[in-house]
Amino acid sequence: MHFVAEERPSYGQEASHYRKLRVWQEAVDLAEETYRLTSAFPKSETYGLTAQMRRSAVSVASNIAEGSGRQSPRDFGRFIAIAVGSLRELETQAILADRLRLSEVTAEYFDDCIRLARMLTRFHQHLERLSAA
């Protein structure tokens, strides 16, 4: 699997190379989708699930970006693991929002979460192989 949408600079060569990572791009897309979804939640959830889901979604992309600035693939991998945890939080919160009928959480939204989880897992495995070499 290719992890970058474009030609990737060597590790650490460019400070913003994380923007070229497909996994980061997908995470940003999911965060944007989450903001749209939660904007339909009732005002009573502003400080509840709305804030929690937005924070979790932003955390996924942010941890990918932060990890890319670390000095080793192993360190980067730790941040990818944190991103996976944030994504699992987001999925759980979306399930709850759907069950509470705060908004209709589509099957496509959950599919996007699953696809991103797979991408993160493969990327984490890739970084583990790099750190073992």
Q: What is the CATH number of the domain that holds 122?
A: 1.20.1440.60
Q: Do the domain assignments include residue 9?
A: no
Q: Do the domain assignments include residue 109?
A: yes
Q: Domain range holding 110?
A: 26-132
This prediction has a pTM of 0.87
Q: Do the domain assignments include residue 89?
A: yes
107-132 helix and 22-38 helix, angle to the nearest 10 degrees: 150
Q: Do the domain assignments include residue 93?
A: yes
Q: Terminal CA-to-CA distance of the chain, rounded, Å?
A: 19
Q: What angle do CA 18, 22, 28 make, to 5 degrees?
A: 75
Per-residue model confidence as pLDDT tens digits over 28-79: 999 999 999 999 999 999 999 999 999 999 999 999 999 999 888 999 999 9
Q: Do the domain assignments include residue 19?
A: no
State residue 115's pLDDT score. Answer: 98
Q: How far apart are CA 5 and CA 26, in angstroms?
A: 11
Residue 8 has pLDDT above 50, yes or no: no
Q: How far apart are CA 83 and CA 26, in angstroms?
A: 12
Domain count, the chain: 1
CB 23 within 8 A of CB 119: yes
